[in-house]
Amino acid sequence: MIEAKQVVKRIGNRDILQEISFSVGIGRMYGIIGPNGAGKTTLLQLLSGTDAPTSGEVLFQGQAITSIKRKDLAKRVAVLQQGGIPAAAFTVREVVQMGRFPFQNWLGEESADSEQLIDDAIETMGLTALANRQVDQLSGGERQRVALAKVMVQEPELLLLDEPTTYLDIGYQVQLLDTVKRWQQERQLTVIAVLHDLNLAAHYCDELLVLQHGRTAADGPPSAIMKPELILDVFGARAVILPHPETGVPQLLLAPSVPPSERRS
């Protein structure tokens, strides 16, 4: 589906990414993790085709992604950005409709009617009651749902998520990733997600890529990545790894060096 080959990104004289290579097959969910400043967001920009690598290349279904016309690419690749939709005076429905932009001609017309699709996306994200509210009156979590509804109507083959759970309450974090996962399984959608929560990453992703200082520190299935030595090396945190009692997926417990303060009774 998508493949990165020896991708290097240099900004000024700083190497943001060095020799990153990996490939993601159709219908897979691929996670990118790593500490802040490791180059995760930059890598996602390169994968979305809005930015070109300094050297190396990103291939989308065998074709150099920078050679595909922007509007054609937007019919197949959608991006859910960090922070969701900014405050704007547009209504929820108007913003969701904007997801159809790549399919419209300059008069805003489409070959087929997309109203049903838009209604469905709004309903799936539980936004029906808010459909005619302006997005600047919504909470951060509601706006993130609007953003997801917008990428849904874009009907992509590849979905890129940039820290989609930041600023969300834990309930919404799980809800959002469940929705993406369900969608991935139903439609053979390929997903690449930058995640900062390692436990969620281990749970939802088939494979993980660990970035450190712009290099690949490790990649493989969650069971191979969730190792105390690796976590200490990359994140500088001591951790205990336990299997999840319900699913058996490796989960991480932080192990601070200072013992907890004594309880006063």
By the criterion CB under 8 A, which residues form the site for other proteins?
48, 50, 70-75, 77-79, 81, 85-90, 94-95, 98-99, 101-102, 104, 106, 108, 136, 154
Please, what is the minimum distance in Å from the beta carbon of residue 48 to other proteins?
Answer: 6
Of 6 and 132, the one with the shorter C-beta distance to other proteins is 132
Please, what is the minimum distance in Å from the beta carbon of residue 183 to other proteins?
Answer: 18
Given its phi and psi angles, is residue 13 left (phi above 0), alpha (psi -120 to 50 degrees) or beta?
alpha
Of 76 and 227, the one with the shorter C-beta distance to other proteins is 76
Of 90 and 235, the one with the shorter C-beta distance to other proteins is 90
Please, what is the minimum distance in Å from the beta carbon of residue 193 to other proteins?
Answer: 15
Of 160 and 198, the one with the shorter C-beta distance to other proteins is 160
Of 39 and 222, the one with the shorter C-beta distance to other proteins is 39
Please, what is the minimum distance in Å from the beta carbon of residue 2 to other proteins?
Answer: 15
Please, what is the minimum distance in Å from the beta carbon of residue 143 to other proteins?
Answer: 11
Please, what is the minimum distance in Å from the beta carbon of residue 88 to other proteins?
Answer: 5
Of 154 and 173, the one with the shorter C-beta distance to other proteins is 154
